[in-house]
Structure 1
Amino acid sequence: MEASKQYRWGTLVTEIIMVLVALLFLVPFYFLFVNSVKTFGDLLTNSASWPKTFEWHNYSRAWDITNFPSALWNSLVITVVSNVLLALFSAMASYRMVRHNTRFNRFLFMIFVAAMVIPFQSIMIPLVKVTSTLGLMNSIPGLIACYLGFGVPMTVFLFHGFVKSIPLEIEEAATVDGTNIYGTFFRIVVPLMKPMFVTVIILNTLWIWNDYLLPSLVLQSPDLRTIPIATFAFFGQFTKQWDLALPALVLGILPVIVFFLAMQKYIVEGITQGAVKG
């Protein structure tokens, strides 16, 4: 009985701590929302108070000024296409390097690892020049190509370690049954790599969706602006329109929240499978 009571108290304390931590993480969202429906004057007077009146027209103004539907579409296309290509190419490259452990493939993997430590700021000027020379400036395909170049090293590194943990006997059995290398990869290996696909998609989605610097260098047309670039329009050199910037930020994070809510089942499954496998 005493042990059971201690267990209940321990569980209760743990749950209370978890609730407090969750509330702590929700504090920034509270400030973001309550200030997004205030007038500019109320926002500057007391940013922590509950709004006196809800200025919902802040959202409509931010929607119109940022041309939010266009920015949302551009961000979705860039994020989805970049994610698919990064995951597919990196998974195939990693599989090849692990299963064909030649000297050249080991050297190639070391190049990928070395590329991970190169800061973007050191190569952004040459990148713009190369992109311009190739005729890829001010185009969504050009930006996607840049994301592939910068995202492949880290993604290959993650997949490379995971492929090593997949038993080779499974693939050998598939080969004995007459499955070619493509069937083995897509029908046997790819389903086993689901936990790593989930991890890669989460990391790359957050990176690409929130990125400002690279799109600002490559995309110059107002019609090609992504959500971070469109939101930055409210931050001038001398003035900052917080009453419009905050609603724009809320609109910008809503698609990400919807994405994680919609994919929650698959994210939990992928993480659980990865934990069991580990």
Structure 2
Amino acid sequence: MKKSTLKNSLIVIISILLGILFLSPLYIIFTNSFKTQKGIFLNVLNLPFGKYFTFKNYAEAFVQLDFFHSFLNSLLITVSSTFMIVVFASMAAWMLVRTNTKYSTFIFFLFAAAMLVPFQAVMLPLINIMGKLKLLNPVGLVFMYLGFGSSLSIILYHGFIKNIPKELEEAATIDGCNTFQVFWYIIFPLLKPITVTVSILNVMWIWNDFLLPQLVINKPEWQTIPLKMFYFFGQYSKKWNLALAGLVISMIPIVIFYVIAQKHIIKGVTDGSIK
């Protein structure tokens, strides 16, 4: 009994220490975003207080970051890319499951193998090709996200669709539905749990992505939040109070989204495993 109690106590202590370790950077960023420049230099770890406490950092960073414009850019690119990934990946996975041939198996494993190819290995040829096609813009960026996001999404949909009885589709076909109607009116509504999971995973990836927009977007009016934050932080790297306030502002949308959506990730995976 004593050994069990000691073991549990050690687990709790280690968990607390790890929690402090992982949360300490967030504490430093958040507290110093409310300090003046002098307050940061005096003591980084102290809470903001007295004459060193200010809200002006956020107001100035909000304006300099052009938050609304960059937020709309990120929102438009993320929603468009995720929508296309969900539509095309679900249709592709459905056809791969229902077309049970050696070619469909080969194509499925081709998508799985594509996940092993690092982006850095193909980014220069990709940008060169997209440049020749004059698609180095948000539209081209959406198509690139569709290509890179389809592999994992197809694999997730593929496993889920295998558990859907084929008799449902046969009954719909007998009732006069064509292939398009069978998918949209019968199959796609049943994919809601895994669609939520696929959407959340892709939204979080695309929203936080920096490298691909940095290679593709070459105009300030097209910049997403991570890209705008990169240039903003470089511009204000000596003004840590503004830089940290800008960093907190850029984190807020995705943190809110994750808090709202995290239960759906677990639910989607669980429903998919027991369907």
Shorter-chain TM range is 0.7 to 0.9
Match of residue 222, structure 1, among 220, 223, 242: 220
Match of residue 42, structure 1, among 24, 39, 50: 39
Q: Which residue of 1 aligns with 2:30?
A: 33
Seq. identity, %: 44
1:165-195 C-alpha deviation (Å, 9 max, x unpaired): 2222222233333333222212221122122
Q: Which residue of 1 aligns with 2:61?
A: 62
Match of residue 203, structure 1, among 191, 201, 204: 201
Amino acid at match of 2:106: F
Gap regions ≥5 residues in structure 2: 1-8
Gap regions ≥5 residues in structure 1: 1-12
Secondary structure, in 3 states, of the residue corresponding to 1:236?
A: helix
Match of residue 143, structure 1, among 137, 141, 144: 141
Q: CA deviation at 1:30?
A: 3.2
CA distance in 1, matches of 2:207, 2:244: 17
Question: How do 1:93-132 residues align onto structure 2 when only pairs under 5 Å count?
Answer: 93-132=92-131
Task: Provide the alpha-carbon RMSD of the alignment.
Answer: 2.8
CA distance in 1, matches of 2:155, 2:84: 16
* TM-score normalized by the length of structure 2: 0.84
CA distance in 2, matches of 1:265, 1:231: 29
Answer yes or no: is 1:189 the counterpart of 2:187.
yes
Secondary structure, in 3 states, of the residue corresponding to 1:123?
A: helix
Q: Which residue of 2 aligns with 1:133?
A: 132
Q: Which residue of 2 aligns with 1:232?
A: 230
Q: Which residue of 2 aligns with 1:78?
A: 77
Q: CA deviation at 1:22?
A: 11
Q: CA deviation at 1:63?
A: 1.3
List 4+ stretches of structure 1 deviating above 6 A.
Answer: none
1:108-149 C-alpha deviation (Å, 9 max, x unpaired): 222211211111111111111111100111x21011111111
CA distance in 2, matches of 1:178, 1:21: 63
Q: Which residue of 2 aligns with 1:3?
A: none
Aligned pairs, how many?
263
Conserved? CA contact 1:71–1:224, under 8 Å: yes
Change (3 A) 1:114 1:266: closer
Conserved? CA contact 1:98–1:164, under 8 Å: yes
Change (3 A) 1:90 1:22: farther
